[in-house]
Amino acid sequence: MASANPVIKVVAISGSLRKASFNSGLIRSAIELSKESVNGMQIEQIDISQLPLLSTDLIVNGTYPPVVEAFRQKLLKADSFLFASPEFNYSLTAPLKNAIDWASLAPNCWGDKAAAVVSAAGSFGGGRSHYHLRQIGVYLDLHFINKPEFFLNAFQPPAKFDDDGNLVDAEAKQRLKEILVALRDFTLRLQK
Ligand SMILES: Cc1cc2nc3c(=O)[nH]c(=O)nc-3n(C[C@H](O)[C@H](O)[C@H](O)COP(=O)(O)O)c2cc1C
């Protein structure tokens, strides 16, 4: 008898440190959706705001600072990753790049795992940050789902988020759910 698919563990990272961040709101919505209507996945958001700016001088006798080590351990235990990546000056944000770089050091915490990227930003909805992130993923050996894509123009009426950065747009929630399903299915395919 075929065994049921296991529950995959997804680590979610927002590239914004802002309290009412739209991108963190996308992750909160993804967590809700995963509990309500996407079987077989568990999403945990990881805070990257306490990671120091990377300097290899902070690695002492091969040991990472405790906050970095704790972050890396969570990634190593994850089956896949969900990035919510705001666009800053046509690219991903500095905090997100810093977190990615810390976890890229040996042993690479990203290698051979599935990932998806979503974003809320200005006119193109953050799309340009996706392409830089995907390029970084080539070297890290991350496997991004190609489709569907999720870009959300956060500033075009009607409002997509409330004042606390919670996603309130039903169509966007549906598209976000499709990302989660695609990420879950691709994660399971990679693990076969
Ligand atoms: C330094 C900076 C650069 C930005 N550059 C872009 C940009 O290139 N493209 C864009 O669509 N939005 C840009 N924005 C707007 C952000 O995408 C927008 O503020 C978004 O809400 C940030 O994500 P958050 O709500 O998760 O914090 C920029 C914002 C900042 C602070």
128-158 tens-digit pLDDT:
999 999 999 999 999 999 999 999 999 999 9
Q: Evaluate: CB of 19 within 6 angstroms of ligand 1.
A: no
Band (pLDDT 50/70/90 cuts) for residue 164 is very high
22 C-beta closer than 6 A to ligand 1 = yes
CA distance 84 to 17: 11
Cβ(151) – ligand 1 distance below 6 Å: no
121 CB near ligand 1 (under 6 Å)? yes
Protein residue whose Cα sits closest to atom 1 of ligand 1: 88
Ligand 1 pocket, residue 95 CB under 6 Å: no
Which CATH superfamily does the domain covering 8-191 fall into? Flavodoxin domain (3.40.50.360)
Would you list the domain boundaries of the chain?
Answer: 8-191
Residue nearest to atom 30 of ligand 1 (CA): 88
Q: What is the pLDDT of residues 95-108, one digit of tens each?
A: 999 999 999 999 99
Closest among 167, 132, 164 to 152, alpha carbons compared: 167
- Ligand 1: centre distance to CA 135 (Å): 20
**Tokens linked to 143:** 């496997």
**Atom 8 of ligand 1 has which residue's CA nearest to it?**
89
Rounded to the nearest integer, the mean pLDDT of the chain is 96
Question: In this predicted model, what pLDDT tens digit does every residue of 24-52 receive, in sequence order?
Answer: 999 999 999 999 999 999 999 999 999 99
Residue 1 pLDDT more than 50? no
Residue nearest to atom 24 of ligand 1 (CA): 21
Q: Is the CB of 16 under 6 A from ligand 1?
A: yes
